[in-house]
Amino acid sequence: MGSIGSTGIASAIDSVRQVPGTDCPMFPSNNYWHARIDSLPVSSSSAQWMSNMHSSNDLHPDFGPSFGEQPVPYGIPITVVHGAARVAVTFDYADESDRVPYPLNKDTSIEGGVNADGDRHAIVVDADTCTLFETFDTRQTASGWTAGSGAVWSLRSNKLRPKSWTSADAAGLPILPGLLRWDEVKAGRVDHAIRFTTDVTQRAFVWPARHQAGSTSSTAFPPMGARFRLKSGYSTAGYSAKAKVVLTGMKRYGLVLADNGSPWFFQGDADPAWPAELIAELKRIPASAFEAVETAGLQVSPNSAASRQR
């Protein structure tokens, strides 16, 4: 963890939005996810990366109504518990997982539903301790719970995972702070970067990412942890008020490349209240309106997610 005193942590927490349904911060307000990037310089690699990221595509919100195609809304659900019993989990990537008991049970929401294919992420927040638990490929079997990988964070800390360790995401970062949530859009303010994916990534990662899962050594492709922002000159005319909240967030805080997947898919929570009309609007945002930024100047310590706020 980066060295900021206990008083600094307390004051940072005071101004950050809480995890819905809890008194827990969505990590301290000086955390990387909350750092504004609208004044940062454009990365010297931006044009080259963009040329290899299907930048002629539009963005795709990977959440919203499922219209009967699956039993739950699209998106990654968040389960809040209060001191729930914890169980052992068997991990495929045990050497890079936090091998502690996890608060998983029959009421834990799984991405896509209990019978889903795909990533099957589970995100659980223990509101009593402000502890975040995240797992990938989460399954309850006859012999107990299993997952591809698992990671645990204190929501009151900027501590990063050990270098080279994955999490429930390829970048080794937490998923929760990068989810676009309906409650914040409805309230009129997005105060964090948003998680997104692309199909080909470099075998490298940049702070504060801790892990890579790339398929090429070419620096012409982006590394895990690369951060992109919507260009300041992109016009929001013609968008609804709620869509403008998202667009403003993308200009101020941007997107973080957190996993391999479909190009320019960005993730949100599985809230049944997401309006179909808003999802349709967000599909109009062109990838070509984004640029990569240089974030090295935000770093306080290589082993902390604390950042110099702009």
DSSP letter string, 110-149: -TT-TT--S---EEEEETTTTEEEEEES-EEETTEEEESE
**Residue 6: pLDDT above 90?**
no
Bridge-based pairing of strands 194-198 and 255-260 is parallel
Residue 1 falls inside a structural domain: no
Residue 303 falls inside a structural domain: no
**Six-digit token pair at 222?**
């982006």
**Six-digit token pair at 169?**
């995401």
pLDDT range class, residue 16, cuts 50, 70, 90: confident
List the beta bridge partners of residue 42: 293
Q: Which domain holds residue 202?
A: 6-298
Domains held by the chain: number:
1
For 189, which DSSP code? -
Looking at residue 307, its pLDDT comes to 97
Residue 191 falls inside a structural domain: yes
**Six-digit token pair at 8?**
């600094």
pLDDT range class, residue 208, cuts 50, 70, 90: very high
Residue 308 falls inside a structural domain: no
Residue 309 falls inside a structural domain: no
List the beta bridge partners of residue 140: 145
Q: Average pLDDT in the 4-22 region?
A: 57
Q: Average pLDDT in the 58-66 region?
A: 98
Residue 102 falls inside a structural domain: yes
**Residue 9: pLDDT above 90?**
no
CA–CA dist 111, 71 (Å, integer) = 11
